[in-house]
Amino acid sequence: MTEWLIDLGNTRLKCAPLQADGRAGEGFAVPHDGQALPADWADALPPRVDAVALASVAREALRTAVLRTLAGRCGRVVRVRTEAVFDGMRIAYARPERLGVDRFLALVGAHARGPGPWLVAGVGTALTVDLLDAQGVHRGGRIAPAPALMRESLHRRAPHLPAEGGRYTAFAADTDDALASGCLGAACALVQASAVEAEALLGAPPRLLVHGGGAAALLAGLPAATAAPHLVMEGLARWAGRTRRPARSG
């Protein structure tokens, strides 16, 4: 049986096969502009796929386009949704559907790595920080603009401020470096403050995992962090391996 995992984000679509051992295999990623996917995005998939587990936080039109493409080569598609309780983990939200499925799957992936506490930081369009205690209880999280979005927002309001470029330094001597330092520094400070507050809440320091397309820049400023570039896909593989239910498209 050929099963694939698809994570459709706001700027990238990630695909990987589900291996016999329940882990995600080597896959591929396709960047997109948030409006449409490249016409050939599925060329790297096998001609025929038995099943797909699809997680999506992208706009409806993109998800529909993916489903339309899969309909010609896939036997069944299962849409992944955030669950209140899964695999011994309990979500903090009273309305679990309001927790993004990418955050949910990152928590699933962290929980599958072993007992917490875990602090999970995702760096994409937004910066998200979620706390999972040693009992698998999600204690909640935070959402802020990621550094790239901070830069883009400043550039839109003040076009003379560049939307990218510069390097991090404690006290910058030019505008490009000052922007890079301020936006990266703000993101790192939020994560570090969350770690301090998590330890005060739980009585033990959490292990910090950082994932997402913008993770590399933050990791340089978070020496205690562990890079987890495929954490959402790890969670998606865990979900697919633990969930055996009739599939539904859409």
Name the residues annotated as catalytic.
Answer: 102
Question: Which strand (E) or helix (H) includes residue 54?
Answer: strand 49-56
For residue 207, count other CB atoms closer than 10 A to its CB.
19
CA separation for the pair 236, 231 (Å, rounded): 9
- Tokens matching residue 46: 């096998």
Q: Which of 23, 14, 1, 4 is nearest to 242 (CA)?
A: 23
Vertex 64: Cα angle to 59 and 67 (nearest 5): 130
Main-chain phi, psi angles of 25, to 5 degrees: -85, -170
- Tokens matching residue 49: 């796929």
